[in-house]
């Protein structure tokens, strides 16, 4: 259990804490990615590398372009310019479903549980290479029944781990907000990804569930998966991430270990404004 963790620790110590710094074994590399909406530049990332096997947090104030950047990386949106690659494979112009098949699976800020499917159906949907998902073979159940049984078995195991097993035959809509977040993450694991991209996994989750979500994310690292997540909850960022990337106004302004980033003057300014320590009345007089 401790072994991968120690690898990550050494990674954090040996990597330079500067924006766009090179990693020893990057799984995801992005270069000069820009996305404009009309006159607004939502994302303008010069260079970014994400270390394989690490838990990397992507933080930043509201409107920093984190979710847009996520959408660009996973194929849900197309950048105006830039290149990026996953496991050395260029992802330009690759549609979202192919990105997922390559092993990079995402979740969504607004949870996308499939409401009128049961929990177990949500899970089974995630499995790859299903014979019964072909239109022709779907008509011949004996061609896919055995595989379906295996998939259900794997889904049941993951649901048990996520403590959702009692809910397996309920509609996903019947779950609480936090349970839906858990389900979405569990479903992403059914795809057997190498890298999991979590967009605000803690939003709206109660403290008890938060703790179990944290454990599940740590488990992913133990299994050798890479995690990149967007989060506002600083306690969580501090607790589980090996590396933190800070975005503000579309750009990466800082990188480093959680402790170093949170002491970074630029990061504090990005969150609180450059003049947050000055006297308000003095400002007003000046104006």
Partner 1 sequence: MDFLFIAQQTLSATIGVNTIIFALAAIGLNMHFGYTGLLNFGQAGFLAIGAYSVAVPVISFGIPLWIAFLIGIFNSVIFALLLGVPTLKLRADYLAIVTIAAAEIVRQIARSATFNEWLGGSDGITGKFGKDFFALNPFKSGLDTPILRFNANDLWVVITGWSLVAAITFVMWIMVNSPWGRVMRAIREDEDAVRSLGKNVYLYKMQSLIIGGVVGSMGGFVYALSRQSVQPDNYGTALTFFAYTVLILGGAARVFSPVVGAMIFWFLIVFIEQVLRQGVTNNVIPHWLIGINQVSQIRFMLMGLGLMALMIFRPQGIFGDKKELALDAKA
Contacting positions for partner 1 (CB under 8 A): 74, 76, 95-98, 100-101, 105-108, 112-117, 121-122, 124-126, 128, 130-135, 137-139, 141, 144, 148, 171, 173-174, 184, 187-188, 190-191
Give 151 or 267: the residue with its C-beta nearer to partner 1. 151
- Find the helix or strand (DSSP H, E) in which 59 lies: strand 55-59
State the nearest-atom distance from the C-beta of 118 to partner 1, in Å: 10
State the nearest-atom distance from the C-beta of 194 to partner 1, in Å: 13
State the nearest-atom distance from the C-beta of 103 to partner 1, in Å: 9
Contacts 24+ apart (CB under 8 A), 173-180: 173/113, 173/115, 173/116, 175/113, 175/119, 177/111, 177/204, 177/205, 178/204, 178/205, 178/206, 178/209, 178/210, 178/213, 179/209, 180/111, 180/113
Give 52 or 106: the residue with its C-beta nearer to partner 1. 106
Are β-strands 251-256 and 40-51 bridged in parallel, bridged antiparallel, or unpaired? Answer: unpaired
Give 113 or 244: the residue with its C-beta nearer to partner 1. 113
- Find the helix or strand (DSSP H, E) in which 70 lies: helix 66-73
Give 72 or 188: the residue with its C-beta nearer to partner 1. 188
State the nearest-atom distance from the C-beta of 149 to partner 1, in Å: 12
What is the three-class DSSP state of 238? helix
Give 25 or 140: the residue with its C-beta nearer to partner 1. 140
Alpha-carbon span 247 to 261, nearest angstrom: 11
Residue with tokens 């936090």: 178
Give 174 or 259: the residue with its C-beta nearer to partner 1. 174
State the nearest-atom distance from the C-beta of 225 to partner 1, in Å: 16
State the nearest-atom distance from the C-beta of 206 to partner 1, in Å: 17
225, two tokens: 């998966």
């Amino acid at each position: 259990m401790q072994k991968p963790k120690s690898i990550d620790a050494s990674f954090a110590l040996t990597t330079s804490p500067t924006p766009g710094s090179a990693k020893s074994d990057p799984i995801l590399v992005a270069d000069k990615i820009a996305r404009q909406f009309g006159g607004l530049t939502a994302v303008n990332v010069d260079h970014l590398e994400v270390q394989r096997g690490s838990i990397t947090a992507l933080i930043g104030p509201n409107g920093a372009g984190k979710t847009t950047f996520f959408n660009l990386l996973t194929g849900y949106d197309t950048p105006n310019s830039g290149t990026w690659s996953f496991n050395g494979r260029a992802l330009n112009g690759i549609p979202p479903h192919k990105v997922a098949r390559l092993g990079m699976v995402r979740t969504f800020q607004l949870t996308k549980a499939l409401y009128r499917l049961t929990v177990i159906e949500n899970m089974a949907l995630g499995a790859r290479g299903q014979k019964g998902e072909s239109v022709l073979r779907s008509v011949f159940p004996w061609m896919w029944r055995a595989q379906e049984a295996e998939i259900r078995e794997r889904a049941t195991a993951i649901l048990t781990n996520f403590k959702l097993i009692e809910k397996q035959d309920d509609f996903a809509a019947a779950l609480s907000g936090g349970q839906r977040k858990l389900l979405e993450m569990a479903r992403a694991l059914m795809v057997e990804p190498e890298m999991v991209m979590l967009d605000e996994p803690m939003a709206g989750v109660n403290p008890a569930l938060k703790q179990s979500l944290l454990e599940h994310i740590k488990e992913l690292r133990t299994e050798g998966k890479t995690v990149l997540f967007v989060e506002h909850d600083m306690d969580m960022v501090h607790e589980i991430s090996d590396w933190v990337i800070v975005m503000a106004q579309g750009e990466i302004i800082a990188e480093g270990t959680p402790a170093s980033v949170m002491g970074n003057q630029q990061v504090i300014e990005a969150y609180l404004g450059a003049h947050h320590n000055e006297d308000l009345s003095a400002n007003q007089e000046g104006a």
